[in-house]
Amino acid sequence: MMIFRPVGIAAAILLVALSPAMAETGSASWYALDGNLTANGERMNSAKMTAAHRTLPFGTKVKVTNLRNGKSVIVRINDRGPFAKQRIIDLSKGAARHICMIGSGHAKVQLTQLASSAETGPAVRYEQLDELETITVPKRRPVGRFASWLRGDRTAGSGENDG
């Protein structure tokens, strides 16, 4: 297997990508699946000010403004979604209640990413690398019963020929 890694200081990959002034506008919906695990491993609590976004890093704080009434809420990204193509964010029920969109189920909103916290690090974008170094990673060899199965002995460990 080949892996490429950057060489030298000029080949930095991670840079701050979104400034606090950068905004995204689109449709939001809300969800409340209390007790289910979110994509970052937390238990969903619909009363908390959290949200699901397709690409923002977990822990990112986002100001969500309902463009119909001007009400805003700050949420923390802790899940992935929304899965409906026309939506840009899924809010927890508590966050949706805060900006008065429970009844309609969806609203046109503006998202403004706030400064990244120390625990989540900066938002990222990818820069073109100046040069790459190619390294070869040795293949791992399977051991035990699985190894014999890979070599073609499909009965190893199946109980058919076990003494």
Mean pLDDT of 9-23: 45
pLDDT for residue 23: 85
CB neighbour list of residue 104: distance below 8 Å, 6 or more residues apart = none
When comparing pLDDT for 120 and 60, which is higher?
60
When comparing pLDDT for 92 and 6, which is higher?
92
Quick check: 108 pLDDT over 90?
A: yes
How do the domains of the chain map onto residue ranges?
17-113
- Measured in degrees and rounded to the nearest 5, phi and psi for residue 93 equal -60, -40
- Measured in degrees and rounded to the nearest 5, phi and psi for residue 151 equal -75, -10
Specify the pairing of strand 72-79 against strand 50-52: parallel
Block residue for tokens 């009434």: 69
pTM of whole model > 0.85?
no
DSSP label at residue 14: B
Quick check: 64 pLDDT over 80?
A: yes
User: What is the band of 147 on the pLDDT scale with cuts at 50, 70, 90?
Assistant: low
pLDDT for residue 124: 42
pLDDT for residue 125: 42
Q: What is the mean pLDDT of the chain?
A: 76
What architecture does CATH give domain 17-113?
Beta Barrel (2.40)
The amino acid present at 102, given as its one-letter code, is I
Neighbour count for residue 43 (Cβ, 10 Å): 10
DSSP label at residue 126: B
